[in-house]
Amino acid sequence: MISHLADTITLNNGVKMPGVGLGVYKVENGPTVEQAVKVALDYGYRSVDTASFYGNEEGIGKALAEVNIPRDQLFITSKVWNDEQGYDATQEAFHRSLQRLGLDYLDLYLIHWPVKGMYKDTWQALEALYEEGKVRAIGVSNFHIHHLQDLLKESQITPAVNQVEYHPHLTQEPLKAFCEKQGIQLEAWSPLKRGRLLEEPTIKDLANKYGKTPAQIILRWNVQHRVITIPKSIHPERIKENGNVFDFSLTEHDMQLLDRLNRDDRSGTNPDSFDTDHK
């Protein structure tokens, strides 16, 4: 169990990844994302999750260049977008992301969505980048069990991470169990269901019980399930609040209360029917 903002979970290749990071989906490039990253790093975050699709890699790179934190203490993730997939295109997209971020390597590179007929070639490109030492770990995002099974049939390397929508209304227990069996670390995007969970009565009750905010209850639930989480915010007080989830523990009974909120309800697109307008 991680017990501090900088604590890590060891991935299947031995790389250590912080259990909580900053997400920057829909955060505007420039001063907005630069400030968010600087606030997070100053508070103790060490993981930042972006993607070429987010359009803010340059701003993140600028922030990283201006903070006085050794590169080996940072964990930077990016993703290859749908229209960049395929073997050669993925390699080119990766190097564009590196250039925008101003980095020599990435800590984690993910396939953003399982584009039908493309993701196997894309995965081969990620494997090559990994073998070349350009990225410390490779993984996928928004992959269902059947996508993973299909990929694992022909892959040389098992994905280190599967980043998916995960929160108390979408617990994805079969997928979580499958990933655990395969040694694939689950990571949660939209852990607060884009803010829609903050008024959930059970969560509000638990927030009152523990003297925490609803967001902190949800993020603590992630931590105790050993699911890496990347809450997004641009507000300094929220960024700090989201990172302050290590001074209390939910009881097993309260964890089960949250588990039972599952509705299989997504705030984003189902990976079997996604389009390029969604995360």
**3-class secondary structure for 2-34?**
CCCCCCEEECCCCCEEECECEECCCCCCCHHHH
Whether 7 has a pLDDT exceeding 70, the answer reads: yes
- State the catalytic residues: 54
Which tens digit of pLDDT belongs to each residue from 183-238?
999 999 999 999 999 999 999 999 999 999 999 999 999 999 999 999 999 999 99
| Gap between the Cα atoms of 217 and 248, Å rounded | 10
To the nearest whole percent, how much of the chain has pLDDT over 70? 98
Whether 275 has a pLDDT exceeding 80, the answer reads: no
Q: Give the strand pairing for 16-18 and 161-165.
A: unpaired
Q: What is the dihedral of CA 16, 21, 27, 28, to 10 degrees?
A: -60
Which tens digit of pLDDT belongs to each residue from 189-202?
999 999 999 999 99
**What confidence score (pLDDT) does residue 148 get?**
98
Confidence at 278, pLDDT banded by 50, 70, 90: very low
Which tens digit of pLDDT belongs to each residue from 239-254?
999 999 999 999 999 9
To the nearest whole percent, how much of the chain has pLDDT over 90? 95
Confidence at 64, pLDDT banded by 50, 70, 90: very high
**What confidence score (pLDDT) does residue 190 get?**
93
Which tens digit of pLDDT belongs to each residue from 153-167?
999 999 999 999 999
Which tens digit of pLDDT belongs to each residue from 263-272?
999 998 999 8
What CATH number is given for 8-194+227-235 in this structure? Answer: 3.20.20.100
Whether 27 has a pLDDT exceeding 50, the answer reads: yes
Confidence at 274, pLDDT banded by 50, 70, 90: low
| Gap between the Cα atoms of 216 and 233, Å rounded | 13
- Does residue 142 contact residue 114 with C-beta atoms inside 8 Å? yes
Q: What is the dihedral of CA 259, 262, 264, 266, to 10 degrees?
A: -90
Which tens digit of pLDDT belongs to each residue from 109-124?
999 999 999 999 999 9
Q: Where are the domains of the chain?
A: 8-194+227-235
Q: Which of left, alpha, beta for 38 (phi over 0: left; psi -120 to 50: alpha)?
A: alpha
Q: What is the pTM of this model?
A: 0.96
DSSP annotation of 188 reads E
More confident residue, 275 or 191: 191
| Gap between the Cα atoms of 49 and 42, Å rounded | 16
| Gap between the Cα atoms of 12 and 191, Å rounded | 23
**What confidence score (pLDDT) does residue 273 get?**
82
Q: Could you tell me which of 76, 57, 63 has the C-alpha nearest to residue 135? A: 76
| Gap between the Cα atoms of 88 and 269, Å rounded | 27
Q: Could you tell me which of 54, 47, 99 has the C-alpha nearest to residue 77? A: 47
| Gap between the Cα atoms of 2 and 172, Å rounded | 22
More confident residue, 26 or 143: 143
Q: Mean pLDDT across the chain, nearest whole number?
A: 96
Q: Could you tell me which of 119, 254, 107, 131 has the C-alpha nearest to residue 187? A: 107
Phi, psi (degrees; rounded to nearest 5) at 106: -105, 155
The gap between the terminal CA atoms of the chain, to the nearest Å, is 29
